[in-house]
Each structure stands twice: as C-alpha cells, then as structure tokens.
Amino acid sequence: MKNPNKQENFKKLQLLLNELPWYVEEYINHKLRKLSTASLFNYCHDYKIFFNWMISEQLCNGNMKDIPIERLEQMTVIEVENFLNYLHYQLENKELTVNRKLSALKSLFNYLQNKAETPDLKPYLNRNVMAKIEFNENKETMETRANKMEGKILLGDEYERFRLFIAHDFGEMNKENTKTYNFYQLNKERDTAIISLILGSGLRLSELVGLDLDDIDFSKYCARVIRKGNKEQFVFFSQTAMNDLQDYLAVRNTKYDVDKQNKALFISARIGPKGTTRRLTARAVEKLVEKYAAAFGKPSLSVHKLRHSFATRYHAEINDVPKLRRQLGHSSIQTTMIYTHIKNDDLKIAVDKMDMPKEQ
C-alpha cells in the first residue's frame, strides 16, 4: 500500500520550513512521526501567518526566518490578543479557525517551554505567553453543526439515486456531447466504483487513492488502509461497493492498458497519444465528484460530504457510535457524535406514521 501524496506533502513541508525559524523545524521534526505531513504543513502555514504578522507590526525586524526565540519569550498577552483580533477581523477567520491557529501556536510554545532542551539542559522558553491565552468559546453546538451539514449530504434514497446517476444517467444526459460522453464511457465503471466505495465504507480521500490491488480482501469485504498517524486498519465496505468494484476490475486492464508493475487500485485515463496510465490522484477524485455532484443537482457534495453521508446512514441503521468511530478512523469519539444529531428522513417518516389515524 502506498500513500501517493506522502512524499509530495513532505517536499512541500520542507520548502515551507525553509522560510521559518530553526526552532519551528525542530518542533516539526519532533511531531513528524506522530502527525501526518498534511497536518504539519497546515501548522507551518499558521506559523507563517503569525511570524509575518509580527514583522508587519514591527514587533521584530528583519526576515521571518531570523526571528529569535528570545522574542517569543518576551511576547505580551496584549500582542497575542492583537494577533487573534487580526485573524478574526482582518483575515475574517471564523472562531473555529482562530481556535485552530491558536492551538497550533500553543503546541509550539508548549514544546519550546516543556520539552525542548538546551545543551545545558535548560528549557528554550522560561515564559510561555500562550499558556495565558484562552480559546474562543465555541457557541456552535453539535446539533447546529449537524443541521448545517444536513442539506449538503445524501439522505434517504439519494444514496442509490446518486450511484445510479453515475453508473448510467450521466451518460444519457450527455449523449449529444461526444467528447464528454466518450470520456464517461471510458471511466464509468471506475467512477461508479469510487463513489460506491466511499458511500459504502466512509473512507477518507487519502485512504481511497492510496489503495493497491492487494489491499482488497474479496472474501471479507474489507480494505487495508493507512489511517491518520500511520495506523494500519482493515475497513469493511458494503456488498454494493464490492459489486461495483468487481465490475471496474473486470475492465481495468483492458480499458487503461495498465502496466503489470502498476498495483494501484484506481488508475487515471491516458491524456494524449503519448500519455501514460498512473495512480489516480486525490485532486482527480475531487474533480470527478464535483462534476457528477453538479450534474446531479447537488453541487455542495464533495468527497468529505460523501464520507459524512456514509456515517449518517450507518448511524441511522446500526446505531453503534463506537463501531462507527472505528469505521471512520476517528481518534476522538466526540468527533463521531455529530452524526447522532443529524436528522434522517426514514426515521422522521416512521415517527410521522404514528400520528396517522388507524383503519377501523
């Protein structure tokens, strides 16, 4: 199994670290085995915003990379509050985003004060201003978040209608457009299998594109994936997903002329006469979902919303939060609890029927 984005993300991370102070790089290296490169890249992006702000406010002179660690020790509560106000009012970051960036800074400062050591065994920071800063109170309840999500995911019979739309209806809709129709005919089994697998398992995008042929256990209906934190796990998927996957595998080699050395499960179509087949990228999957979602009349759908759709349906039918947490690969059960607040049409219909007059 391979994660095709891992090396690319690592290169991007290294390029960004070249712009940041040395102590940030030391902190990131400390976290490298514990967090994904994508998460660490986001941390560094937040640090870049912070250090650029320091320079723009003339809290420090020179280059961002040269900001001394001593300046962090001298930062005041007022300065940090000014930065948070800058995020909220000038960059128009929402409270959750401000909290996320503050969390990244708290983690960095905590490392510099409590974990990192100088050669004479003293902490890098004796004073940690971030420990004095409180997070914004998140006034948005789980129920509010669930209600916002509800209109952007698939519910009820939309699961099967969306799958059938990709497997058949999209082609009928575009018969007059030769280029679109031919491209669809080439990829319809692959695209149906991709959507069906997400809707039938709740896989993350990175987990999906990282799948190899030998990661699929056809007897147990499960796939071996690498989850966040580089944890290996077997994730189960539905009978429908298995059927669509087998339909795709029946045409994979002939349609894509795949080299025997290429073990990637999902393959990209050739582009141009000299094009080569390769593992389908995460961005390619995002684009195909966007294309079908727009044509289906639900443009808010994304890969992540399909994952939410699976989780909502799983909870409605199984009602076992610990099992759902494991299936989704959540580190905290609180993250999984949001799906207990999403309304389900099937349940509502059942309750409504209770009020119907009974036949005499």
Q: Which residues are catalytic?
A: 204, 228, 304, 307, 330, 339
Asked whether the beta carbons of 211 and 227 are under 8 A apart, the reply is: no
Burial class (CB in 10 A: 0-12, 13-18, 19+), 154: buried
How far apart are alpha carbons 54 and 307 in whole angstroms? 39
Instruction: Give the 3-state secondary structure of residue 151.
Output: coil
Instruction: Give the 3-state secondary structure of residue 139.
Output: coil
* Type of residue found at 291: K
Query: Given 3-state DSSP classes, what are the helix, strand and coil percentages for the chain, each rounded to the nearest 5?
Result: 60, 5, 35
Asked whether the beta carbons of 321 and 337 are under 8 A apart, the reply is: yes
**Residue 267: CB atoms within 10 Å:** 21
How far apart are alpha carbons 323 and 11 in whole angstroms? 36
